Amino acid sequence: MVKNFWMTMVVLAAVMLQLSAQTVAPTETALVPQPSSVKVNAGQYMITESTRIGYAGKDSQVVAMADRLAAYIKAKSGLQLQVVPAIQPLYNMIFIGIMQVPDSLGKEGYTLTADKAQVAIKAKTAAGLFYGTQTLYQLIKPEVQKKLPMMSIPLVQISDKPRFEWRGSMLDCGRIFYSVDFIKKFLDYMAMHKLNTFHWHLTEDHGWRIESKKYPKLNEISSWRAGTQFDHSPERQINHSPHGGYYTQEQIRDIVQYAAERFITVVPEVEMPGHTLAVLAAYPELSCTGGPFKMPVQWGIQDDIFCAGNEQTFEFLEGILSEVAELFPGKMIHIGGDEAPKKRWKECPKCQARIQADSLKDEHELQSYFIKRIEKFLLSKEKNIIGWDEILEGGLAPNAAVMSWRGIQGGIEAAKQKHTVVMSPTDFMYFDYYQGEPYLEPVAIGGMLTLEKVYSYEPVPAELSAAERKFIRGVQANIWSEFIHTPEKVEYMAFPRLAALAELAWTPAVRKDWENFTKRMEAQYKRYEEAGINYSRSAKHVWQKVELDTVSNTATISLRTQSYQPEIRYTTDGNEPTISSPLYTEPFQLSLPGTVKAVVFENNKPVGKISVQSVLVPAGF
């Protein structure tokens, strides 16, 4: 009896401990990307009608941030908070201020502290404050149980700064023309992920998207085509509706400004010498053969590129780049440089004459001559160039930055040559690849790049020395649009993978943690829903692993997803899983032949698509 009493007491104490742990457990912050340092204390700061938003800093951007925060709180809760200038955080205030903060926070870092009395975001720069407010947006929660409108912020001490200075996403608007409104949405979504570089792919074989006052045929001819290839199959692959458009100079200025308000630099890409058939369709005299050329409707690399032996090519490019340099205030212009077949140059008397006259070894050195000449011109306009890693071939231009896409070797080589590098290898950073099993996905270009694989990427190659590593300035995802024809599909392909990229780009490598990321992503998915983002549910699709046992004629089936603690339900009777189907807890035996259908349930409803695996009796049995 006595023994039982004590045992009961021990159990009771354990239960009570657990209960109290639950009640005082720090509120989950679920921040994406994960900050450098987060300390969560028990309790919350309550935003009520008497809360004021205070700002310190002369920068008009700081006032705009304070106003935007007030508008957000109004939209979410109806609370109309007063926005006031302040020198320092005061009682019952959400304060954002440019202040003295530790130098270690760098140009883009911030601190965010919330206690019961006040919330303060401090940074050395407006950019730092902006990132602090992005974190704050993820922390603010509506208090739906309260009678009066209220919101709350968990009590936190955050100190944060980005790992890389170039945190980029490229969007291919050359192949598909997306509206100004969508570009702005995309910039909003980038900002939400603390990304700061929008690489705007504006020229392609299939379309020219920049208004030119000097070369109007770029807009009359190069911006339009008769149709679009929409899938891989040999039949039915061309949609014959005309496609095209271009951004007016006014729209471009507007987008650049919109991006700047979100601390995003726009890096325009003007492709050369390849990916230029659209230009040649309008100005065939800039080609090696003289044309004529039609605007292509099928994807693929084109043989016809700018003639490197023709002075008119450089006159044209200097003309157009002068217009581009005026439109984009950023330091960098991307000059492409990728996938330029040398076939035409090999056969062109003018190109060959240039090789002779300049004692160039071959066509690769001719491309290097081309890029160096463009670099020199752009330096005269105080712009630096960045190009795809092919610009290493034949010798890198003296100040060029390199975007490593054909794997990481180009980035390694450029870093060893002490050039700035942005890592964007196909295997980890090409968001036009499938993000789940192709039978569950809309058509993609090919490849396989799951959320987990994006997250696994380490942008700094291990083989670089400490000194060389400093040249790896950033990391970028590329969204090529051959098979991404609508804004909704851009969102589908970009999200949630862009969240994984954001964490690679922002969070210290030591804080990376896949399991924890999937847990925080549950909150991020809700944020996507709130923002109306058409994100992919592929990370919740079930992957089935089949291990055949040819002795017992069975298979062992293991199920997993790329999401946090999924409720996987499955059937083996051919029916679609329902909420009463068996819950997957561990690998199970399937007798053959057999079919497993599995899907994740949330709130009693299936999420995404049903994974189907039919396993036959192995041959010979």
* Residue ranges binding ligand ACM (CB under 6 A): 338-339, 388, 405
Show contacts with Zn ion in window 351-380 (CB under 5 A). 351
CB of 405 to ligand ACM, least distance (A): 4
Contact 424, 414 (CB under 8 A): no
Give the residues across from 404 on adjacent strands.
423
The nearer residue to ligand ACM, 143 or 338, going by C-beta atoms, is: 338
Contacts of 393 (CB under 8 A, 6+ apart): 364, 367, 368
Letters for 515-554 (x = contact with Zn ion by CB under 5 A, - = none) are ----------------------------------------
Q: How far apart are CA 621 and CA 607, in angstroms?
A: 37
The nearer residue to Zn ion, 244 or 309, going by C-beta atoms, is: 309
Cis peptide before 154 (omega within 30 of 0): no
> Please, what sign has the CA dihedral across residues 217, 219, 220, 226?
positive
Show contacts with Zn ion in window 281-300 (CB under 5 A). 288
Structure tokens at 601: 């349930």
Map tokens 């001559």 to a residue: 369
The nearer residue to ligand ACM, 221 or 333, going by C-beta atoms, is: 333
Q: Does 321 bind Zn ion (CB under 5 A)?
A: no
Contact 459, 424 (CB under 8 A): no
Interface residue with Zn ion, options 149, 309, 336, 425 (CB under 5 A): 309
The nearer residue to ligand ACM, 338 or 427, going by C-beta atoms, is: 338
Pairing outcome for strands 421-423 and 472-479: parallel
Residue count (the chain): 621
Per-residue three-class SS string for 342-390: CHHHHHCHHHHHHHHHCCCCCHHHHHHHHHHHHHHHHHHCCCEEEEEHH
CB of 417 to ligand ACM, least distance (A): 20
Q: Is 505 exposed, middle or buried (0-12, 13-18, 19+ CB in 10 A)?
A: buried
> Which of these ranges, 166-174, 308-316, 376-384, 561-569, lies near Zn ion under the rule CB under 5 A?
308-316
The nearer residue to Zn ion, 302 or 435, going by C-beta atoms, is: 302
CB of 391 to ligand ACM, least distance (A): 11
**Is 554 strand, coil or helix?**
strand
CB of 389 to ligand ACM, least distance (A): 8
Residue 86 contacts which entry, Zn ion, ligand ACM, none (Cβ below 5-8 A, type-dependent) = none
CB of 432 to ligand ACM, least distance (A): 9
The upper half-sphere exposure of residue 254, i.e. CA atoms within 13 Å in the direction of its Cβ, equals: 10
CB of 338 to ligand ACM, least distance (A): 4
Picking from 483, 478, 499, the residue whose alpha carbon sits closest to that of residue 198 is 478
Gyration radius of the chain's alpha carbons: 28
CB of 101 to ligand ACM, least distance (A): 38
CB of 512 to ligand ACM, least distance (A): 26
Residue 338 contacts which entry, Zn ion, ligand ACM, none (Cβ below 5-8 A, type-dependent) = ligand ACM
Residue 288 contacts which entry, Zn ion, ligand ACM, none (Cβ below 5-8 A, type-dependent) = Zn ion
Residue 339 contacts which entry, Zn ion, ligand ACM, none (Cβ below 5-8 A, type-dependent) = ligand ACM
Give the nearest residue (CB) to ligand ACM.
338
Task: Please report, as ranges, the residues that interact with Zn ion according to CB under 5 A.
Answer: 288, 307, 309, 348, 350-351
